[in-house]
Chains A and B, each alone.
Chain A
Amino acid sequence: MSTPNRRPPPSLTPWLFLAPAILFFSVYVIYPVIQSVMISFLDWDGLGEKTWVGFENYRDLLDDPSFYTSLKNNVIWLLLYLAAVPAGLAVALFLNQSVFGIRLYKSLFFFPFVISNVVVGLIFSWFYAPNLGLLPNILDWLFGTPIAVLAEEDLVTYGIIAAGLWPQIAYCMILYLTGLNSINSELIEAGRLDNAKGFSMLWYVVLPQLRPATFIAVVVTVIGALRSFDLIAIMTSGGPYGSSRVLSYFMFEQSLSEYGTAMGYGAAIAVVLFAIMLVFISLFIVRMLAQERNA
């Protein structure tokens, strides 16, 4: 005797499996995105009355020099942060050998990724600190002109990016090290037979096999660059006079910080940042889908 068939129809099964993810994704991602877009059309201090102002927040944004500073800095972050990918590859190739104590070296190189970004920011602020920092003292000794990087509007963003690259290179390195482990040694052999060595070996044999690692490294670095916030908050609070802010910090300043009460304005910045990120994320997703189809 068989038990009555209580199973849901087959067409429903995938949806049941997806339901928890869909639920949480809607509540914690989709709904806040919609809400941010709604708030960006309001004049609201976060506490009092909300007034519908249409596109005024966006118009104000276009007239705001701080917006362009942030946008420019975001572009600089994006371009320079990508240096972490080749740098991580270089370190990974260097460490991918078996000599005594290599595990120790690997862990030392990986160390900056393990510590919190707040600590990285603090270490670098002390490194740059006027009077007592290492860098100004070295510069003073070499050239007689100490430079306090974090007080110079033209240097401050590069100073913070340098701090950000330290853990980011370690991250890319780890991605590449895992990739290098799974390289097909037969292909290397075949390459050798065909007289490939040095750069041509790297370019034509090793790198194509590392393509998945490169893809992840680029994705993670691009998104990391766009959401850079913690280092700026720790090292400069966006200063001097706002010259190191990026969109995410600008948004925080406008709507959530000590002096910021412009919720609508902050939401408008968030929407712009979201739109920029969407471009990159869509590109990545399209690529990923294409690869999956080919595989």
Chain B
Amino acid sequence: MRKHLSLTGLTVAASLLSTPVFAEELIINLPRSTEQSIEATENLIAAFKEAHPGIEVTWNNFDDETYKASFRNFLAANPPDVVAWFAGNRMRPFVEAGLFEPIDDLWAKAGFNEQFSAAESSMTIDGNIYGVPYQQAPWAVFFNRDVYERAGASEPANFDEFVENCEKFAAIEVDCLTTGTVDLWPGAGIFDLINLRTHGFDFHMQLAAGEIEWTDPRVRETFENWGRIAPYITADNAAIDWDGAAALLAQGKAANYVIGAFAVKTLLNGGMTEDSLGMMSFPTINADVPRAEEAPMDSYHIPVGAPNPDNARLFLEFVGTPDQQTAYNATTIRMPVNNQATPVDDKYLNIGFEMLSTAEGLSQFFDRDADADMAKAAMEGFQEFMARPERMDDILERLEATRQRIYK
């Protein structure tokens, strides 16, 4: 809103000078709710205007959930020039409906194929590239060192040790692992990492793509591993949101929290310090499986029917440059996607960078790797499994029925 007012002010000032300063326009729809992301976006737009002084930029800001809910509407009815969305299958429906502009030529011209080599496959659907990623956040185990000390536990070297630790935490009445699944998605992060550790990257991606039956014994194996820690997961997680779970970790009522690195700021604000907040890659389950990590990416796209497609292309090329990727993510403390950008020196970013750069593969997130309907059903299943692990067979059979309906 503030942004909008200041832009109006500029337009008024411009018209008072009675010289048409802005001949060109660019309309961007982005959801930005945190202070850092708003500041970073304002800086980005200011830098873009400096580089392209002839273009007037209008930024319509949204709250995240409203944005996701209204995205389909404005994309079809009143498309802006640039939108923010997510990689992988999460953009497939829009690509298939012909609502996203392919930008292969832009990638080739800007040298993005090399600079975004790790991200290219996530931005590609049916052979064409549809966006430019600007940030990613690895998912990891965040833990409270004070609680570890209190329970006499040490950082687990593998999943068996993690489970052993859980008993120690139970002894001092602390939840071994916490999550808040009222919005469903945090539970999928736990499933993804356990599945990646149990069967590896390729299996996980095939399962997400609907190529493997949910009743397959290998899927059961993943759920059985999950079942080992299920009794130690915060009992009422279905009524807690992700901030609420962060509070449990910060207050020392939980020892571990599987969440994206975007939660670091919340955890530090909640009273944790760099000394007490630890971050580690999810422990190894099967030592023979190469380690893959989960690192969802956020990206910019051009809708078909954008009123100023040329300016939109200029903008996408601009946000992809190593300088802008470095600058944006230095403000938001996230990880840039362009491999020539420099991540800011931050304890958790450095750990995350190390995790991702040595990983065998990077998954997006269950709701981006799988079809939307499948993701919704599966995430409900994950939530139910954590509350009632004994219903594993029912849940898997139901998911298999959903898979057959969706991928028929």
Which residues of A does B touch, CB under 8 Å?
A: 45-48, 60, 65, 128-131, 148-151, 153, 236-237, 239-242, 253, 256-262
- CB-based contact A259/B238 at 8 Å: no
The B interface, classified by DSSP as helix, strand, loop or mixed, is: helix
**Chain B residues with CB under 8 A of A148:** 235-236, 239
- CB-based contact A151/B97 at 8 Å: no
- CB-based contact A258/B93 at 8 Å: no
Q: In the assembly, what is the distance between CA of A42 and CA of B65, in Å?
A: 28
Proximity string of chain B (225-257) to chain A, C-beta cutoff 8 Å, 1 when within and 0 when not: 000000000011111100010001000010000
- CB-based contact A240/B376 at 8 Å: no
- CB-based contact A128/B76 at 8 Å: no
- CB-based contact B184/A239 at 8 Å: yes
Given the known interface contacts A236-B182, A259-B367, the answer about A241 and B93 at a Cβ–Cβ threshold of 8 Å is: no
Cβ of B384 under 8 Å from chain A: yes
Given the known interface contacts A236-B182, A241-B387, A242-B380, the answer about A130 and B76 at a Cβ–Cβ threshold of 8 Å is: no
- CB-based contact A240/B238 at 8 Å: yes
User: B376 touches which one: A60, A128, A260 (CB < 8 A)?
Assistant: A260
Which residues of B does A touch, CB under 8 Å?
A: 65, 68-69, 72, 76, 93-94, 96-97, 99, 181-184, 235-240, 244, 248, 253, 367, 372-373, 375-376, 380-381, 383-384, 387, 398, 405
**Chain A residues with CB under 8 A of B236:** 130-131, 148, 151
- CB-based contact B239/A151 at 8 Å: yes
Q: In the assembly, what is the distance between CA of A148 and CA of B184, in Å?
A: 17
- CB-based contact A47/B238 at 8 Å: no
- CB-based contact A60/B99 at 8 Å: no
The distance from the CB of B257 to the nearest CB of chain A, in whole angstroms, is 15
The distance from the CB of A275 to the nearest CB of chain B, in whole angstroms, is 24
Q: In the assembly, what is the distance between CA of A261 and CA of B96, in Å?
A: 13
**Chain B residues with CB under 8 A of A60:** 405
User: B97 touches which one: A45, A131, A150 (CB < 8 A)?
Assistant: A45
Given the known interface contacts A241-B381, A261-B93, the answer about A131 and B248 at a Cβ–Cβ threshold of 8 Å is: yes
14 contacts between A and B (CB under 8 A): A47-B72, A47-B76, A47-B93, A47-B99, A148-B239, A150-B238, A151-B238, A239-B380, A239-B383, A240-B238, A241-B380, A253-B376, A259-B376, A261-B93
Known: A149-B239, A151-B239. 7 other contacts (CB 8 A): A45-B97, A131-B244, A239-B238, A240-B384, A258-B65, A258-B68, A258-B372
Q: Which are the 8 A-B pairs with shortest beta-carbon distances?
A: A240-B238, A47-B97, A148-B236, A151-B239, A130-B236, A241-B384, A259-B376, A151-B236
Given the known interface contacts A47-B99, A48-B96, A239-B383, the answer about A129 and B372 at a Cβ–Cβ threshold of 8 Å is: no
Closest to A46 in B: B72
**Chain A residues with CB under 8 A of B383:** 239-241
Q: In the assembly, what is the distance between CA of A131 and CA of B380, in Å?
A: 23
- CB-based contact B240/A130 at 8 Å: yes
Q: In the assembly, what is the distance between CA of A65 and CA of B401, in Å?
A: 11
The A interface, classified by DSSP as helix, strand, loop or mixed, is: loop
Q: In the assembly, what is the distance between CA of A45 and CA of B398, in Å?
A: 22
Q: In the assembly, what is the distance between CA of A48 and CA of B239, in Å?
A: 36
**Chain B residues with CB under 8 A of A260:** 372-373, 376
**Chain A residues with CB under 8 A of B244:** 129, 131
Closest to A159 in B: B239
**Chain A residues with CB under 8 A of B184:** 237, 239
The distance from the CB of A105 to the nearest CB of chain B, in whole angstroms, is 34
**Chain A residues with CB under 8 A of B237:** 151
**Chain A residues with CB under 8 A of B239:** 128-130, 148-151, 236, 240
**Chain B residues with CB under 8 A of A45:** 93, 97
Closest to B234 in A: A130
**Chain B residues with CB under 8 A of A48:** 93, 96-97
**Chain A residues with CB under 8 A of B76:** 47
Candidate in B96, B182, B248 with the most chain A CB atoms within 10 angstroms: B182
**Chain B residues with CB under 8 A of A150:** 238-239
Q: In the assembly, what is the distance between CA of A48 and CA of B182, in Å?
A: 31
Q: In the assembly, what is the distance between CA of A258 and CA of B66, in Å?
A: 10
**Chain B residues with CB under 8 A of A237:** 182-184
The distance from the CB of B85 to the nearest CB of chain A, in whole angstroms, is 12
Given the known interface contacts A150-B239, A151-B237, A259-B373, the answer about A240 and B387 at a Cβ–Cβ threshold of 8 Å is: yes
**Chain A residues with CB under 8 A of B183:** 237
**Chain B residues with CB under 8 A of A258:** 65, 68-69, 372
Candidate in B94, B182, B239, B387 with the most chain A CB atoms within 10 angstroms: B239
The distance from the CB of A47 to the nearest CB of chain B, in whole angstroms, is 4
Q: In the assembly, what is the distance between CA of A65 and CA of B380, in Å?
A: 13
Q: In the assembly, what is the distance between CA of A267 and CA of B152, in Å?
A: 56
Q: In the assembly, what is the distance between CA of A242 and CA of B184, in Å?
A: 11
Candidate in B65, B236, B237 with the most chain A CB atoms within 10 angstroms: B236
- CB-based contact B72/A239 at 8 Å: no
The distance from the CB of A148 to the nearest CB of chain B, in whole angstroms, is 4
Candidate in A65, A131, A240, A257 with the most chain B CB atoms within 10 angstroms: A240
